[in-house]
């Protein structure tokens, strides 16, 4: 019996390009960030360097921009299921997305665990980022949460859409590729949902 459900943030709970890119778009650094991404995926820079370059684009910018940008993000269709799921399951967010960009979700829905990357603010300006989730450690985080709750990994469901969710898929007893962005995500999932509506996952619970 499923006891714990872990969700990715960007592309699953939030619709759109993702919290990092939405903030880049709002601030006006989108094209520079896209180049950083190309450098990473080409193998020219490490993931940590990618993050360092990205956050460097924002350093010194008023932190209020984060809050303004967070108001513009769109929650995923069907997100209201979270309210009912929280009555019967432990719920977690495990995401490389930006914590402050998920305010619309946190204001309304309760999650037992939230592992997200948080922008560090100093003197009311963007200073750095506290990285908790990278491209490789989602599976390890899911394992840690299951341990805290004394839940077997076989009783966990992981819901994600991108290649960095695959480590989480490999640990969970059941995995759902939700509106997947890469074929390898499909190959590593137990089921695939291509309709962008979170209510679709209910048939698998």
How would you write the pLDDT of the chain (205 residues) with one tens digit per residue? Answer: 679 999 999 999 999 888 999 999 999 999 999 999 999 999 999 888 999 999 999 999 999 999 999 999 999 999 999 999 999 999 999 999 999 999 889 989 999 999 999 999 999 999 999 999 999 999 999 999 999 999 999 999 999 999 999 999 999 999 999 999 999 999 999 999 999 999 999 999 9
Look up the domain containing 103 and give its range.
Answer: 4-16+74-204
Sheet bearing 4-7, strands edge to edge: 125-130, 113-122, 90-98, 4-7, 156-160, 174-178, 191-193
Which of these, 177, 30, 29, 162, lies nearest to 96 by C-alpha position? 162
Query: Cβ neighbours of residue 170 under 8 Å, at least 6 residues apart?
Result: 139, 188
Q: Are strands 4-7 and 156-160 parallel, antiparallel or unpaired?
A: parallel
CB neighbours of residue 41 within 10 Å? 10
Cα(176)–Cα(201) distance, integer angstroms:
8
Looking at the fold, whether 155 and 95 belong to one and the same domain comes out as: yes
Task: Give pLDDT, residue 85.
Answer: 96
Looking at the fold, whether 32 and 100 belong to one and the same domain comes out as: no
pTM score, whole prediction? 0.94
In the residue annotation, 15 being an active-site residue is answered as no
Element (H, E) at 7: strand 4-7
Looking at the fold, whether 108 and 47 belong to one and the same domain comes out as: no
Task: Give pLDDT, residue 83.
Answer: 94
Number of domains in the chain: 2
Could you read off the pLDDT of 43-75 as tens digits, one per residue? 999 888 999 999 999 999 999 999 999 999 999
Task: Give pLDDT, residue 87.
Answer: 93
Looking at the fold, whether 44 and 93 belong to one and the same domain comes out as: no
Looking at the fold, whether 200 and 109 belong to one and the same domain comes out as: yes
Element (H, E) at 142: helix 138-149
Looking at the fold, whether 155 and 126 belong to one and the same domain comes out as: yes
Q: Are strands 113-122 and 90-98 parallel, antiparallel or unpaired?
A: parallel
Looking at the fold, whether 50 and 88 belong to one and the same domain comes out as: no
- In this structure, what CATH number is given to the domain that contains residue 91? 3.40.50.1000
Looking at the fold, whether 33 and 122 belong to one and the same domain comes out as: no
Looking at the fold, whether 122 and 142 belong to one and the same domain comes out as: yes
Cα(159)–Cα(71) distance, integer angstroms:
24
Task: Give pLDDT, residue 192.
Answer: 98
In the residue annotation, 10 being an active-site residue is answered as yes
Mean of per-residue pLDDT scores for the chain = 95
Looking at the fold, whether 23 and 64 belong to one and the same domain comes out as: yes
Looking at the fold, whether 55 and 130 belong to one and the same domain comes out as: no
Looking at the fold, whether 107 and 132 belong to one and the same domain comes out as: yes
- In this structure, what CATH number is given to the domain that contains residue 30? 1.10.150
Please tell me which residue in 10, 54, 161, 165 is annotated as part of the active site: 10
Q: Where does a domain end: 70, 88, 107?
A: 70
Cα(125)–Cα(130) distance, integer angstroms:
15
Q: Where does a domain end: 46, 70, 94?
A: 70
């Amino acid at each position: 019996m499923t006891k714990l459900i872990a969700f990715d943030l960007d592309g699953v709970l939030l619709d759109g390009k993702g919290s990092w890119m939405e903030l880049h778009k709002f601030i006006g650094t989108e094209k520079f960030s896209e180049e950083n991404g190309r450098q990473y995926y080409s193998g020219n820079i490490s993931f940590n360097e990618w993050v360092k370059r990205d956050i460097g684009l924002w350093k010194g910018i008023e932190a209020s921009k984060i809050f303004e940008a967070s108001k513009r993000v769109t929650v995923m269709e069907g997100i209201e299921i979270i309210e009912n799921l929280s009555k019967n399951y432990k719920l977690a967010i495990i995401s490389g997305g930006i914590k402050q960009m998920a305010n619309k979700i946190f204001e309304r829905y309760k999650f037992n665990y939230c592992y997200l990357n948080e922008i560090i603010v100093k003197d009311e300006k963007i200073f750095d980022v506290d990285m908790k989730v990278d491209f490789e450690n989602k599976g390890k985080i899911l394992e840690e949460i299951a341990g805290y709750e004394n839940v077997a990994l076989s009783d966990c469901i992981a819901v994600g859409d991108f290649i960095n969710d695959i480590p989480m898929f490999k640990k969970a007893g059941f995995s759902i590729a939700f509106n997947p962005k890469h074929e390898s995500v499909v190959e590593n999932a137990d089921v695939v949902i291509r309709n962008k509506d979170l209510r679709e996952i209910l048939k698998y619970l």
